Amino acid sequence: MDDKNTIEEKIRKETLVRKAVSVDPNAAKAGPSTIQMTDGVLIPKKGEKHILTSWRLTFFGALVLSAILIVFFPDPYRQIFRTCLRGLPVTFEVTIFSIIGAVIIGTFTGLGSVSKRRWINMICGVYVELIRGIPLLVQLIFIYYAVGRFFHVEGLVAAIFSLSVCFGAYMGEIVRAGIQAIPKGQMEAAIALGLSRSQAFRYIILPQTVKVILPAIGNEFISMLKDSSLVSVLSLEDILRCGRMYISRTFLSLETMLVVALIYLIITLVLSRLVGVLEERLHKNG
């Protein structure tokens, strides 16, 4: 009986010692951290009712206003909506291909930023600082006109390339921050188990990094959708370009810009909701 009590006392003491030396006993429950790097709209979440209500008010308010304009003021708003919506495929085409290119460039940039080779760090650092210091509109014009002197670059290709290069710098910072958000003990534990650094990075660090940065990538997608309106300077018939062409014919600038704003707002709010759902599922699945 005494031996049994002694064993139970030792187990209790060992449990208390483990809890005492634990740096963060709630770390396992907290789950992976999420990096928020965006200038996009506020993303609704289930646990934050006031944010969800704000999203609903904005979204349904935009839908109701659009319906009122189309039903009660068909001339000229119905024609304006038809004209602007013709640019929707170009807007999505530019945005989707650009986000793919930005993710590829950003992945290599982020990996280079955490590389132990200093010359790789310097190249990635110069690229990030250079691109972030030049406005996107200037990059669009430079690539289309300056590079076009030496190579035949179409407007669509120039727009996708410019957006990819520009947002690739921001994406690189997201990837770098995501990698650094993973505790260093993960790498040390993997090496202690017999994995090489490359294997540990590929099988342990990167999967966790992807889960951390996915919401931020979704936010960048929303920001890119809005900034894609700048490609209208390259004569691409996106939503804004179609609106400006309608203004040149009818001189209804205020009405047309109102419709353009409503279209972008509705699309952005829908995408923000999808990003919110994605983030909730990531947290739910751990």
In the numeric block, the tokens 């990030």 are attached to 128
Burial of 232 (0-12, 13-18, 19+ CB in 10 A): buried
* Residue 76, preceding peptide bond in cis (omega within 30° of 0): yes
Q: What is the pLDDT of residue 21?
A: 35
Q: What is the pLDDT of residues 245-282, one digit of tens each?
A: 999 999 999 999 999 999 999 999 999 888 888 877 77
Average pLDDT over residues 66-88: 94
| Single pTM value for the model | 0.77
Can you list the domains of the chain with their CATH numbers? Answer: 47-87+237-286 (no CATH), 89-234 (1.10.3720.10)
Q: What is the pLDDT of residues 82-125, one digit of tens each?
A: 999 999 999 999 999 999 999 999 999 998 988 888 899 999 99
The CA distance from 275 to 234, in Å, is 30
Q: What is the pLDDT of residues 204-215, one digit of tens each?
A: 888 888 888 888
Whether 143 has a pLDDT exceeding 50, the answer reads yes
